[in-house]
Structure 1
Amino acid sequence: MQSPRIMVMGVGNILLSDEGLGVRFLEELAKKPLPDNVELLEGGTAGLELVHLIKEVDFLIIVDAINARTEPGSLFRFQPGDLQVFPEEYEVSFHQVGILEVLTLAKVLGQAPETLIFGVQPKLLEWGMNISPEIQALFPQLADIVCNEIDSIQRDGQFSPSQVK
Structure 2
Amino acid sequence: MLQPKIMVMGVGNVLLSDEGLGVQFLTLLSQETLPDNVELLEGGTAGLELVHLIKEVDYLIIVDAVNAKDEPGAIFRFEPEDIRVMPSQFEVSFHQVGILEVLAMANILGTAPKTLIFGIQPKSLDMGLELTPEIRGVLPRVKDLVLEEIQHIIQHGEFRQGNP
TM over 0.5: yes
- Spell out the pairing of 1:119-134 with structure 2 (5 A cutoff): 119-134=119-134
Letter matched to residue 9 of structure 1: M
Query: Is the contact made by 2:83 and 2:90 (CA closer than 8 Å) also made in structure 1?
Result: no
Q: TM-score, normalised by structure 2?
A: 0.97
TM-aligned CA deviation for residue 33 of structure 1: 1.4
Cross-structure match for 2:77: 77
Cα shift readout 1:108-135 (whole Å, capped 9, x = no counterpart): 0000000000000000100000000110
Runs of 4+ in 1 over 2 A off after TM superposition: 84-90
2:8 counterpart of 1:8 = yes
Unaligned runs of 5+ in 1: none
Residues 1:121 and 1:55: Cα distance change in structure 2 (over 3 Å): same
Structure 2 residue runs of 5 or longer lacking an equivalent are none
How is 1:100-115 mapped onto 2 (pairs within 5 angstroms)? Answer: 100-115=100-115
What TM-score comes out, normalization by structure 1 length? 0.97
Distance 2:108 2:132 in 1: 37
Q: Which amino acid aligns with 1:23?
A: V
Task: Tell me how far apart the structure 2 counterparts of residues 87 and 57 of structure 1 sit (CA, whole Å).
Answer: 26
How far apart, in 1, do the equivalents of 2:32 and 2:112 lie?
A: 27
Kindly provide the CA deviation profile for residues 91-146 of structure 1, in whole angstroms up to 9, marking residues without a partner as x. 11000000000000000000000000000000010000000011001111110100
SS in structure 1 of the partner of residue 134 of structure 2 = helix
- Could you tell me which residue of structure 2 aligns to residue 152 of structure 1? 152
2 CA distance for matches of 1:5 and 1:89? 31
Question: Counterparts of 1:89 and 1:151 in 2: how far apart (Å)?
Answer: 29
Match of 1:96 in 2: 96
Give the Cα separation in 2 of the matches to 1:90 and 1:155: 31
| 1:64 matched to 2:71 | no
- CA displacement, residues 5-48 of structure 1 (integer Å, 9 cap, x when unaligned): 00000000000000000000001111111101000000000000
1:136 counterpart letter in structure 2 = R
Counterpart AA for 1:92: V
